Amino acid sequence: MKFLKIQTVISMTSLSRSSIYAAIRAGAFPAQIQLGERSVAWLESDIQNWMESCINNRNNI
């Protein structure tokens, strides 16, 4: 397992910070994990699974 910080998630997904947090609120993107009082990260596997889901759903649009 690997934790990813926001800049890495932005780079991997090509989404903006505000788009990521809006998608989290909408339940359409994996939620972050609180690492400390002022530190959050995402599980790499959660982001990879989300990306795979986007690829798998592209034929259903």
Which structural domain, as residue segments, surrounds residue 33? 3-60
Written as one letter, the residue type at 56 is N
How would you write 6-19 as a 3-class SS string? HHHHHHHHCCCHHH
Which CATH number is 28's domain given?
1.10.238
Lowest mean pLDDT among 25-29, 41-45, 47-51, 55-59: 55-59
The answer to whether the beta carbons of residues 47 and 6 sit under 8 Å apart is no
**How many domains does the structure of the chain reveal?**
1
> Is the pLDDT confidence value at 58 over 90?
no
The answer to whether the pTM exceeds 0.85 is: yes
Which residue shows structure tokens 């903006």? 16
**Residue 59 neighbours by CB distance under 10 Å:** 6
